[in-house]
Structure 1
Amino acid sequence: MNLDGGTYYAFYVRVSTDAQDERMQHAAAEPILRQVPRDRLLVFVDHGVSAAKVPMSKRPELQRMLTLIRSGQIGTLICYERDRLARDPYEYVEIAKLLISRKVEVVFTAASARAFEGNLLVEGISAIAAGAEAQAIQRRVSDAVKEYPAQLFGYKRIRGDDGYVRYFRDPRHADAITEMFGDISSVRSFEEFMARFESLRRILRRTEAQALKMLQNPFYAGHVRRYGTYHSLPHVEPIISLETFTAVQEKMTDLAEWTGRALDQVVEGIIHPICGLCGSAMAQKSSVGHEPRYECRRGGHRANIIDLAWLDEVVLEQISTRVAELNVDALRQTCSGFIRRHIRKLESERFRVIEECHEKSLAFARRFSPGFDNKLVEHALREIESLEVQSASLSEKIQQLQAGYSLDITGLMDLVQHALSTRMQDKGAVRSLASMLFRQVLVFPDRIELLAYYSLFLNGGEDHGATA
């Protein structure tokens, strides 16, 4: 770590909940922090801030640190792991771009953390891995919330003397909920559905979205759905029968046919757009009887509206174009440059190991006579053998990387482009690809602008405007 210059050293710590402990991150960084003069160390702590739930712009200590980095006051960042900075891939890429542009030295202190390479492409791949881990955590939390919600309309959550939580029907709403499920299970047309649905949701004082969510929640039948199968929840008093709930799900399927679209489409666009007039995230507006759309709800921007289907069509077209026009020469140059730098780094480390092994071997020969045998000899031999193993391992890694020079980048790109084109019907895959390709999608009243990551590899350039 470089201790020269007049810039400060930043130590960033984040834990997701108030109950989590920061000590592990402090302990991992302690050997490095001891080398930093106290008057040049700045500590930033976001305690109880989930990177998966709270956007980067609303993490106060992170923003304070990034502001100092932008102003050139921080030269070194010390952090436990990449996911402490951000779990969202494009948020992490934004941070990495800033660190690279300001030439900030980054030191990750976790034992398993890979060194910060200063290469945006490599860091982007690391961000994708962190994003996948965050999604796995969110899935586990989501599963727990489905079985033990903090609160649910129509239920009273009670913790017994034995410490276990149980759910009992709330007599104020249970009968109306039973009536709603019973009536919806027997409708035969879209008009009948809308008439009963509107009447009952108003009685329950639920919004359209809230009522639809209730109709699709098996918790009201005392069940949870896992891997396509319903499982009973013994801690829940059912308000309706499972038979009634499944009958309602059939009507939900009919509703999708009557309206010409699936209900989940109202919440699943390919990418969430930003209002180009004010820079705020656009809100989704949807209802059972109308096509979903995005609109800006800020002041005078309410006229800035775009249909979700039209936006998806534009994004799909741009993904196809960008994937088909990947800049193979730029990719080859970047990959080869990264391989060369990594080889030089490994060769330098191998040279150091060989020198140390040579010095220890000479010291061993001077110190011990042939046939001498005790614990000191054994320890010295183990050290020399360990260095020889390290040297052989580094040689093998260097040979593997040198073989990468003959990599057929053109053939690899053909393979990647073919694989991507075959997955364009998989909306989940398309959504992930869009989040990796495009930093933002800006919607204006007369056009759409897509701001791309990795512009060096996209022949279309960094920013692309499509007229809506």
Structure 2
Amino acid sequence: MLALADLIKPGMRGAFYGRHSTDKQTMETQRSMAYEFAKKYGCMITCEYEDAGVSARKKKLDDRDGISLLLKEAIDGKFDFVLINHHDRIARNPTEHQKIRMILAGCNIPVVISSSESLYDSGDFIVDLIKDGTSKMEVDNTRIRTRDTAKSILIKGKWTGGKAPFGYRYDKVNKSFSQCGEELTIVRRVYELYRNREGFQSISRLISHEFGKTINKATVRWIITNPFYAGYMSHHRKSEHSRNSITPIENWLMIKSDLIEPIMSLDEWKETWAIFEQRKTGNLNPKMYKTSFFLSNLLYCSVCKGILTGKDQTTFDKKRSKLYGKKWYSCPTCKYKIELDRIHTVIDVVLKDLKSQNLETVSLDVYNELLKERQLVTNRLSRTTVELNGAEHQLQMAEDQSKRLASLVKDLETIDDNTKMVQILDLQKEHLSNRIKKLKTEINQLEKSAQYLELIEGNEDEITRNIKSMSIITNHDNDNDIRKMITYLVVQATFTPKTIDSKKIVTHGEIAIQTRSSLVRTTIS
């Protein structure tokens, strides 16, 4: 390997590359050391490439604009050598280090570490590999130490640092939180809207409209998923690999803190979290309420037993401010259709039926129906758990048998009955492992469904409140409220076409609606 003075000659064009991980750091020290080096060797820095506030651990090489441009322009021959402040500025990953070395070596461009006036590429693969590995180990150890320190601070009920959640302010001098009344009013409204089945984007728009304050859907999401509002601090809530991802709640450490004046109980927050879990798995899509087809996924054809689908064939003329066309429910199999407004006359019948009954009795009937649903989920969970235990036992037996037979195989080239049996067992183990993985996923979803039914839909007080609020709804109310009422009360609706004209439009029919408390029938003409 040539000495540094033999590689870097006066008049050569240098390129400075700098990187720091957070916005609180600066590039000045790295840059000044690079310019001092260039001055010492009689060179000029003609190009600068920076990745400011970019973590080399979190962002891959191709996702860092500064280093990506440097490598591209190295190929174009825009400079003769590169100056970095330290080995770990250019990369943290051993594979990325080797990729950078290969590209720059192919361009005959040396990389100099200005802080030690040494070459980034030592010429010894093993030495470089050790340095690269050490660089990664340092950042991993730092991350672990930081995480462990934060955990120990949290266990004491103290604030681990950073920006306080929306609605609170942290006083570093007094080490205490204060409430921001205006923002907490928004937080309470966010929780109310979310429990009423609004989605993050919808809540963001509604808050902006109601309060004149812009909050994006990411902020709404962090508000909903943060137990801070119930007086609890949390650790390991965010994923290490993606700060926008939330880890499973089973992995969290939650500590009640006397520093926080909560605005809700932990049970209230857990109820909201249960809704979030159901939505995340797709079992409770907020958009299911945002439809003018109130009987969507609930209305069946008595002839073919298929579901009637909604078709919106309306268009709006902006110039005339007029709506043209109609909305239909149609049977894809029988090919008939019926106007939405005619089907929805049944809403009045359902509401009339609800108001004619004792609301406490209706609430009890709904509660009992939901108890049955909970029992079905519990039974399925029990069966799946038994199946999982059986699969895990079979896998253990297959592994033990495979190890025993493998010890009888003389060498890798021998193909005998033992070898064949080992291969068969390996296939069986792979099949069982995949099955176990699927069963664990199913159990996780069933557990969350059971929790949701227990905390939300199966909560007797919640049911009573919902029934009472639904009893004063009219067919002129908000579409979301009507849709929510229908999905809450109606188990299934069955439509029977009686008369169909030449255009396949139903002119006369009957509809039967099975609610959770009664059976309602009416004629549609």
Q: Would you say same fold, with TM above 0.5?
A: no
